């Protein structure tokens, strides 16, 4: 039986996405920038489907499938999961959806991911939604979130797998245990994801949102980006 990895490394196959031609928006921003909250708002108001690369990998692992076991083994052995695998999971999720508008959250994480996504799928994003937020504000939000979780007996911490994907996961511990992890996450974002943002900015495809403001104000800025696109599609 062929696995996702087999499919990912099979050359010469035309991606099914080149036929479906989905409208893809990459959503990028540092930890605590509010991407998840705003993605939920975009889904509700503009009808996009939200795809998190990290969630797709986690779901594949939790499914107990052959592919999930393979991914888990790679992570357990400290082997970096190839970006082709994440791309194939994204491709599969897009093809299985009846929608044609997608928010891809937290991917691509670096320039290699970006180039490979476009090469493998033949899809170039409509634009990149970049939630720009100061490290001080993101740190404040994450620590505040941890305090709330601690109050109910759990601390939610950033977990980074070998494949470079991240998500929140419950973890026992003190808030102090997470401050170094949070700051390392900021460094990873700056060192890797900013190259993707700079690339698309050179193409005029970056829509920068001031994510340091309250949630409602941030969404007003988001709506200013999506409403003209939505109106044009409906015309």
* 145 assigned to a ligand binding site: yes
* 223 assigned to a ligand binding site: no
d(CA 4, CA 21): 21
Judge contact between 49 and 103, C-beta under 8 A. Answer: yes
* 125 assigned to a ligand binding site: no
* 41 assigned to a ligand binding site: no
* 2 assigned to a ligand binding site: no
Judge contact between 143 and 39, C-beta under 8 A. Answer: no
* 23 assigned to a ligand binding site: no
DSSP single-letter state for residue 193: I
* 185 assigned to a ligand binding site: yes
* 64 assigned to a ligand binding site: no
* 141 assigned to a ligand binding site: no
d(CA 87, CA 116): 8
* 109 assigned to a ligand binding site: yes
* 229 assigned to a ligand binding site: no
* 83 assigned to a ligand binding site: no
d(CA 173, CA 77): 25
d(CA 77, CA 12): 30
* 201 assigned to a ligand binding site: no
* 35 assigned to a ligand binding site: yes
Beta pairing partners, 101: 23
Q: Residues marked as binding for a ribonucleoside 5'-phosphate?
A: 58, 79-81, 106-109, 174, 185
Q: Residues marked as binding?
A: 32-37, 58, 79-81, 106-109, 113, 145, 174, 185, 213
Q: Residues marked as binding for CMP?
A: 113
Q: Residues marked as binding for ATP?
A: 32-37, 145, 213
């Amino acid at each position: 039986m062929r696995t996702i990895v087999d499919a990912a490394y099979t050359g010469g196959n035309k991606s099914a996405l080149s036929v479906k031609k989905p409208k893809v928006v990459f959503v990028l921003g540092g930890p605590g920038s509010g991407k998840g909250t705003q993605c939920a708002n975009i889904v509700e108001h503009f009808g996009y489907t939200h795809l998190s690369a990290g969630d797709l990998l986690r779901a594949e692992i939790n499914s107990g499938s052959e592919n999930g076991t393979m991914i888990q083994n790679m992570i357990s052995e400290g082997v970096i999961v190839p970006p082709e695998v994440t791309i194939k999971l994204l491709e599969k999720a897009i093809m299985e959806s009846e929608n044609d508008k997608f928010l891809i959250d937290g991917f691509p994480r670096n320039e290699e991911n970006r180039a490979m996504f476009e090469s493998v799928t033949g899809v170039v994003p409509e634009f990149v939604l970049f939630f720009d937020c100061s490290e001080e504000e993101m740190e404040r939000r994450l620590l505040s979130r941890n305090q709330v979780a601690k109050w109910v007996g759990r601390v939610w911490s950033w977990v980074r797998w070998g494949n470079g994907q991240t998500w929140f996961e419950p973890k026992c511990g003190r808030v102090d245990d997470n401050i170094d992890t949070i700051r390392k996450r900021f460094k990873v974002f700056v060192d890797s994801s900013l190259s993707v943002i700079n690339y698309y900015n050179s193409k005029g495809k970056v829509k920068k949102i001031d994510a340091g403001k309250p949630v409602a104000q941030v969404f007003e800025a988001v709506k200013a980006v999506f409403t003209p696109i939505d109106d044009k599609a409906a015309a």
